[in-house]
Amino acid sequence: MEQALRSLSRRAVGLPAAARSRCFVAGPTRDSQPSRSWTAAARGGDGARTFRGGLHAARGGWGSPGREASKGGRRPEGRPLPIQRTRGSEILFGVAPCSMALSQARRDLLRLFLKRSVGPQRLVTGEFVLQAAARGVPVLHVGRRELDELCEGRVHQGVCLEATPLRFKSLEEAEEPDLGDGESPNRQLLWLVLEQIQDPMNLGALLRSAYFLGVDRVVTSQRNSCPLTPTVSKASSGAMEVFDVYSTDDLRSFLKAKAAEGWEVVGTVSQSEAVENVPVISCSEFRWNKPIILVIGSEGDGLSLETQLLCQQMLVIPSGRVLHRGIESLNVSVATGILLHSICSQKLRHGD
């Protein structure tokens, strides 16, 4: 041993002092490496079961000491261990969707995943733990990368929830409103009908506006329409979790039946469009004096011609300037928000 130290000292001769000192600094041993194990503790009796610990594994396997360093001397970055989902489940992500889903009884809730956190984020985490405890939902505290993996890189805000999917409700399940007569409050019912809305971000924004502005029911066509996905729930800021959405496989028959019952079917067009035998008016000129069905068309093509011909009036949003070609229209969710506010403001003015 002494001979080896003398040999090492001779090799260090001529090196700068700092370099020589580094030759004799003791580094961490393999035994001092922290172990990466999954520790679990059940807390709170019948409350939420809380699991703490890492879900990362080294590239060589769980805690393989022989593969802790790469050829370049650096420890390879761990990658998330895939979390096995329950068959038929989906992952909600984001504070509002997960909180709303926990507060309702519309889904089967399987597991809540929370980011391990310190500081102000712990307050949000604590609220979620209490919500989960009230519903008997297991809670897992995991790292950010596990959450990224769960929601496929979307913005999760430190929260994911495994749950069964939400489905559209059938119109047969819906309770038919009594329209009454004369000055009955039900004369100012407003339903929003969506024809082939395909973008989940648009559908979520539409549901959020409809919920906020007081739409009584949302109905969507089954054909070529976006389903109720976690992305829709996130874009709706959780409104999808509390607001029933209905669907029909025969939109035109549905509109015909409602028109025969006394509803006014109102469509939408851009400024440059005209519909044969259907009057087009500004949304500011429209008067709400009977139950309304506002029909919104798809992002690219708008309302189909067959649906346009079933409308009694078409609404247009006037622009504030002369528009350049190619940007004469609004995003469908923005336009719908404007139209709904224009109609619903009449209800507010009438004190209903």
* pLDDT greater than 50 at residue 338: yes
Q: pLDDT by residue (tens digit) across 109-143?
A: 999 999 887 666 666 788 899 999 999 999 999 88
What is the tens place of the pLDDT at every residue in 305-328? 999 999 999 999 998 888 888 888
Answer whether residue 177 shows pLDDT above 80.
no
Per-residue pLDDT band at 79 (split at 50, 70, 90): low
Is 43's pLDDT higher than 50?
A: no
pTM as predicted: 0.74
Q: Is the pLDDT of residue 234 over 50?
A: yes
pLDDT tens for residues 190-199? 999 999 999 9
Q: What's the 3-state SS for the chain?
A: CHHHHHHHHHHHCCCCHHHHHHCCCCCCCHHHCCCCCCCECCCCCCCCCEECCCCEEECCECCCHHHCCCCCCCCCCCEECCCCCCCCCEEEECHHHHHHHHHCCCCCEEEEEEECCCCCHHHHHHHHHHHHHHHCCCEEEECHHHHHHHCCCCCCCCEEEEECCCCCEEHHHCCCCCCCCCCCHHHHCEEEEECCCCCHHHHHHHHHHHHHHCCCEEEEECCCCCCCCHHHHHHCCCHHHCCCEEEECCHHHHHHHHHHCCCEEEEECCCCCCECCECEEEHHHCCCCCCEEEEECECCCECCHHHHCCCCEEEECCCCCCCCCCCCCCCHHHHHHHHHHHHHHHHHHCCC
Residue 69: its pLDDT value, please? Answer: 36
